[in-house]
Amino acid sequence: MQRIFSGIQPTGIPTLGNYLGAVRNWVKLQHDHDCIYCVVDLHAITVAHDPKALAQATREMAAALIASGIDPKHSILFHQSAVHAHVRLSWIFECVVRIGWLNRMTQFKDKAGKDRENVSAGLYTYPALMAADILAYHATRVPVGDDQRQHLELANDVAQKFNFDFCGGEPFFPVIEPVIMGPAARVMSLRDGTKKMSKSDPSDQSRISLTDDADTIALKIRRAKTDPEPLPGEPAGLEGRPEARNLVGIYAALTDSDHAGVLREHGGQGFGAFKGALTELLVDKLSPIAGEMRRLLADPATMDAILRDGARQAEAIAEPIVKKAEDLVGFLRV
Ligand code: AQP
């Protein structure tokens, strides 16, 4: 069985983008892969965060994953700071990755904005830690949203350079294949169809969160930006209409269809009617997840025990791989 690794940052309640672009696919892959899923709290501190809230946010993210269908009996679920192998391999990779490669990362440019001199060095070297997260387990498939494609290409470059520099070109670290699935691989903001939906966007109206109740979902969808034209009959008609394309993509993902299928059913409809149908679908899909999250979080001790057990299992896989990488680099063992 191929090994899967993927992670999510505890930087807020997961959004519909996280769910449709990543987590829902993680759930599907559990049945025929050896899966490792991680709440990446080390990544979460690359931007300003509240130290008093991080532990609970980590627990909440783990509960959101279980409520979405990740089964800790089938998949390893843990939080990143509990397994030290990530940081040890990350440092080695920081010394392998080239500054020129990091300079090309568009996510860094987006997150750093104009004030680049003032963001953390961790935000800049984030892709080296991400490469370590995956390669510490010799994982070969990584289900992510489309925004992470460039980071995975960089992880492959790092693996290849490590193999060349320290293993005479032998493939100690394997090639990683991104798994980017479905019509919602990039869910956009409800306020701006050219911007990704994000947990940490300052505008709450830009996203649907997994814990939003029915009224909140209805209000956010009603207020979602659209254009005055009705829905077209086929996907070519969505060209130049990013907000319409986004809502159709969300509908397609929730009904396991595609843009063409949704437009066959709803083409010619105005947004009033279409938004009503979309709201119903969203409430139907997300309400059970929110309820299950509340139930899980009422028992934090059990949540922590699940994460502790996951960390133990993760460590057992990563430790020999990272030790071998350290030996290849040449560290003294006494
Ligand atoms: N809008 C999106 N559409 C599709 N997939 C998405 N993902 C994130 N946003 C979308 C995917 O969710 C997984 C976990 O993401 P993350 O939390 O590790 O980091 P992120 O990509 O930076 O997500 P956010 O929501 O935008 O977080 P913040 O606001 O903290 O930066 C990844 O697989 C990602 O592709």
Which part of the chain has CATH 1.10.240.10? 211-295
Q: How far is the CA of 145 from the centre of ligand 1 (A)?
A: 7
Give yes or no for residue 181 having a pLDDT over 90: no
Domain 3-185+299-329 has CATH 3.40.1190.20: no
187 is in an annotated binding site: yes
Taking only the tens place, the pLDDT of each residue in 200-252 is 899 999 999 999 999 999 999 999 999 999 999 999 999 999 999 999 999 99
Residues lining ligand 1, CB < 6 A? 7-9, 11, 15, 17-18, 21-22, 144-145, 147-148, 185-187, 196-200
Give yes or no for residue 184 having a pLDDT over 90: no
Sheet containing 3-8, strands listed edge to edge, beginning at the edge strand earlier in sequence: 76-79, 34-39, 3-8, 141-143, 177-179
Of the residues 199, 220, 275, 285, which is catalytic? Answer: 199
At 264, list the tokens. Answer: 């066959």
Q: How far is the CA of 211 from the centre of ligand 1 (A)?
A: 16
9 is in an annotated binding site: yes
Is ipTM strictly over 0.95?
yes
Q: How far is the CA of 248 from the centre of ligand 1 (A)?
A: 20
Q: Using pLDDT thresholds of 50, 70 and 90, give the confidence band for residue 61.
A: very high
Contact 249, 183 (CB under 8 A): yes
Q: Which residues contact 300 (CB under 8 A, 6 or more apart)?
A: 59
- Predicted confidence at residue 185, as pLDDT, reads 87
Which part of the chain has CATH 3.40.50.620? 3-185+299-329
Contact 274, 266 (CB under 8 A): yes
213 is in an annotated binding site: no
Of the residues 28, 111, 195, 323, which is catalytic? Answer: 111
Indicate the helix (H) or strand (E) that contains 35. Answer: strand 34-39
From 4, 5, 9, 149, the mutation candidate for ligand 1 (largest count of ligand atoms within 8 A of CB) is: 9
3-state DSSP assignment of residue 242: helix
18 is in an annotated binding site: yes
Q: Which residues contact 178 (CB under 8 A, 6 or more apart)?
A: 142, 143, 144, 148, 149, 152
At 152, list the tokens. Answer: 């995975």
Taking only the tens place, the pLDDT of each residue in 94-140 is 999 999 999 999 999 999 988 889 999 999 999 999 999 999 999 99
Contact 9, 54 (CB under 8 A): no
Q: How far is the CA of 8 from the centre of ligand 1 (A)?
A: 7
Q: What is the pTM of this model?
A: 0.96
Residue given tokens 């920081």 in the structure block: 94
Altogether, the residues listed in the chain come to a count of: 334
Taking only the tens place, the pLDDT of each residue in 136-173 is 999 999 999 899 999 999 999 999 999 999 999 999 99
Of the residues 73, 195, 196, 220, which is catalytic? Answer: 196
Instruction: Specify the CATH architecture of the domain 211-295.
Output: Orthogonal Bundle (1.10)
Q: Whose CA is nearest to atom 8 of ligand 1?
A: 18
Question: What is the spatial distance between Cα 250 and Cα 262, in angstroms, rounded to a whole number?
Answer: 10
Instruction: Give the number of the atom of ligand 1 that is nearest the alpha carbon of residue 184.
Output: 4
